[in-house]
A and B are shown apart, each in its own frame.
Chain A
Amino acid sequence: MHRRCSAAAASAAAATAAVLAFVSPAAVAKDTVKIAFVGPLTGGNSAIGLGGRNSADLAVRLRNADPKSKYQFELVALDDECKPDAGVQVATKAAADKSIVAGVTHYCSVVAMATVDTYHRFGLPTVVWGAVLPDITYAHDYREIHRVNGTMINQNETAAKFMAAQGYKTWSIIHDTTDYGKGHDKYFTQSITPLGGKIAGDFGVTADQQDFNAELTQIKGQHPQVIYFGGLTPLAVRIRAQMEKLGINAQLQGTSGMLSEDFIKGAGPELAEGVLAFREGAPVEKLPGGKFFMEKYAAQNYPNPPEAYGPFAFVAATLLMDTIEKVGPDRRKIIGELAKVKDRDSITGPITFDSHGQNTVAAITKYVVQDGKWVVWEDSEYASGKRKLKGK
């Protein structure tokens, strides 16, 4: 069959083939290979979970439509509910099922963390598609666990390089005392110090604190150029408002946790203007293969959008299927082959796994608030020089 035709025809054909795969037995008997998808399909995070499942499903359908593929792939979607106990249950179910040879696993960090031991015990190779906690890949030496998306380590490396390039030299840090805030504090300090950055002060605060005047007054005496905040939106709103009242004119730099519309609504567009934040991943249209992905995704008429991490689930599934095509449906061989992944092309950019299975060149996107919206830095008037960050 000749399928090198227009994109529209190809996706139509893909859809037809996918349907055919279900209704008629394949003309040529291909071995069926099962891979698992695990994510939150119900509950508060289900939008992202369903987007991830659809994206992994899209990867499988595209592969099954490809005549050069040696296997017929089947995606087994499991619901971890974003809860550790439910996650361990479905992880055990997938890992104990010998017909499943690999898994595209987890969006929620707490679940991903809880299940690494299970995958290790059963020797199931997995690729994490959304969870960002560094410990998921770094807290152990399990060869089974990989991750295609970035972590807060990558996020802070990018942030530190970017801020240093802007010419900033001194920081005061406020972070909440959860794992999230403490992690950001640690990795940002780690990344900025070798670049010549100086940390003038470091304040841990509780995650529901209302009044930051005492901390900010101390920061005022430290005269930093930048206030770094590691935490979530509600605190970020308060800190921004109270900075203003105390007359602190420093640049505010945040993390993925405050990158939301609610930050701008809470602080008001005037005060939010020029605030920076960083996030793992990138808007789909900014990804190297974003256009291709969105076209294929739209052609399948899924009821929900891919959401922010869909492309990563697509990449994780594609990477696993590539590997299986190469070494066959054997868990051990797949693990051995995944360890060699280096500069592999994907729709989210190149993938290189380090010795912990972590993608070291993960995409991180820089954002700045401009006129009441989070704008990708490169597209902003701040990057073009039309507007200036604080102290520049």
Chain B
Amino acid sequence: MGLLAQYVINGAMLGMMYALVAVGFSLFFGVLDVIQFAHGDVLMVGAFAGLAAHALLAHLGVTSPALLLLGVLAAAALSMAILGALIARAVVLPLKSVPPINVLLMTLMLGTALREAIRLFYPGGSQPQRFPSLLPGTATAVGALTLRLDNAILFATGALLIVGTHLFITGTRLGLAIRAVAQDEETARCMGIDFTKVVLATFALGSALAAVAGVMNGLYYNEVGFGMGLLLGVIGFSAAVVGGLGNLYGAILGGFLFAALQTIGAAALPFASAYKDVFAFGVVIVLMAFRPTGLIGEKASERV
């Protein structure tokens, strides 16, 4: 029983991480109909930005974990918001009138460039880096189940971020503008909405979310590496697609669904856990065959 609960907790943590990545993919697709394939690598760079900020703060003599954590999060989110806006300005917007496949290709290459840059230029970047534990590691053992305070905080943070994003999209003027652009770019422009500004804001928002997910990832695993964004990006993208690309709830649903599939694949299936990704992606393929527009299709609900 305790083990089952442990699986559920593990799966939920994983799902929250995937959902945060998937939300970014969905935001970008909703606004511009593009797939930003460097998203996973932006997450990775965000985690490394946080790590560098930690090293800097520690060097300056800051020892309070709360201050360190705040600094790490602020540095990661801010720098990635800027990087996200830059990517939109330099790569995505100029290619607006060409086939979307070009954007996909460009961002795919950009992701490789980011990954290699960290590997080559971050000190010791080719090997996994230790990410500091900044959250209280209090653990309570209930039978076979280990409950950890830091994991609970991470989960709550993730949930708050998603709720916050939802409220931002539905409740603010900028959010309204984002939704307007998502629905109809031409009309939105006619209504006096600054299209470029909206696109840049969306990319900044999605990339900052990815940065926070990257820091969460580091805090959860106590380790970050230059290759961490690759699979997270693919999984986040699959989650967004299977949930319904362009739909925020779909992305969340897809993220948790994918984590559940992976956990079932590793824990419950009779064959070796080596096939858990094969199983999870296999199920996604089957789902896509039956629901090509995703579980929550575009028509069923409003975009973004």
Which of A's residues lie within 8 Å of B, judged by CB?
A: 177, 202-206, 208, 210-211, 213-215, 217-218, 220-221, 233-234, 237-238, 241-242, 245-247, 262, 265-268
Contacts and interface: CB of A to CB of B under 8 A. Distances in A.
B274 A246 contact: no
Given A233-B128, A262-B127, A214 B144 contact: no
A199 to B, nearest CB: 14
14 contacts: A202-B272, A203-B272, A205-B273, A208-B227, A208-B231, A210-B231, A211-B262, A213-B14, A220-B3, A220-B6, A220-B144, A241-B222, A245-B222, A267-B223
A304 B7 CA distance: 51
B156 to A, nearest CB: 17
A234 B227 CA distance: 10
B139 interface: yes
Contacts of A266: 127-130, 223
A213 B10 contact: yes
A266 B221 CA distance: 11
A267 B225 CA distance: 12
B5 to A, nearest CB: 10
By Cβ-Cβ distance, the 6 closest A-B pairs, closest first, are A204-B274, A214-B266, A213-B10, A262-B127, A247-B146, A266-B128
B183 to A, nearest CB: 37
Contacts of A210: 221, 228, 231-232
A211 B128 contact: no
Interface in B213-254: 221-223, 225, 227-228, 230-232
Contacts of A217: 3, 6-7, 10, 267
Interface of B: 3, 6-7, 10-11, 13-14, 124, 127-130, 139, 141, 144, 146, 148, 151, 221-223, 225, 227-228, 230-232, 262-263, 266-267, 272-274, 276-277
Most B CB contacts (10 A, CB to CB) among A210, A221, A247 go to A210
A308 B291 CA distance: 57
Contacts of B222: 241, 245, 268
B273 A214 contact: yes
Contacts, number: 91
Contacts of B11: 214
Contacts of A267: 130, 223
Given A204-B273, A208-B231, A215 B130 contact: no
B274 A205 contact: yes
A246 B223 contact: no
Interface centre among B225, B263, B274 (most CB of A within 10 A): B274
B127 A233 contact: yes
Contacts of B124: 262, 265
Nearest to A214: B266
Given A220-B3, A245-B148, A234 B130 contact: no
Contacts of A218: 3, 266-267, 273
A237 B223 contact: yes
Contact of B128 (A202, A205, A246, A262): A262
Contact of B221 (A215, A238, A246): A238
A267 B222 CA distance: 8
Contacts of B225: 234
B270 to A, nearest CB: 12
Nearest to B263: A214
A222 to B, nearest CB: 10
Contact of B274 (A206, A221, A237, A245): A206
Contacts of A215: 266, 273
Contacts of A206: 274, 277
B127 A214 contact: no
B277 A246 contact: no
B109 to A, nearest CB: 20
Contacts of A233: 127-128
A262 B125 CA distance: 11
Nearest to B147: A247
Given A214-B267, A218-B266, 19 more contacts: A177-B274, A203-B274, A210-B228, A210-B231, A213-B14, A214-B11, A214-B262, A214-B266, A218-B3, A220-B3, A221-B3, A233-B127, A234-B128, A237-B128, A237-B130, A238-B221, A245-B148, A262-B127, A265-B124
Given A233-B128, A237-B223, A266-B129, A214 B3 contact: no
Nearest to B137: A245
A376 to B, nearest CB: 23
Nearest to B232: A210
B6 A246 contact: yes
A242 B222 CA distance: 8
Nearest to A269: B130
A337 B266 CA distance: 53
B276 to A, nearest CB: 7
B231 A265 contact: no
A217 B221 CA distance: 15
Given A214-B263, A267-B130, A203 B273 contact: yes
A238 B277 contact: no
Contacts of B7: 214, 217
Nearest to B220: A245
A241 B146 contact: no
Contacts of A245: 146, 148, 151, 222
Contacts of B139: 247
A56 B204 CA distance: 59
Given A208-B231, A221-B144, A234-B225, A214 B276 contact: yes
A174 to B, nearest CB: 9
Contacts of B227: 208
A242 B128 CA distance: 14
A98 to B, nearest CB: 44
Contacts of A265: 124, 127, 129-130
B72 to A, nearest CB: 17
Nearest to A202: B272
B10 A238 contact: no
A5 to B, nearest CB: 48
Nearest to A236: B128
B11 to A, nearest CB: 8
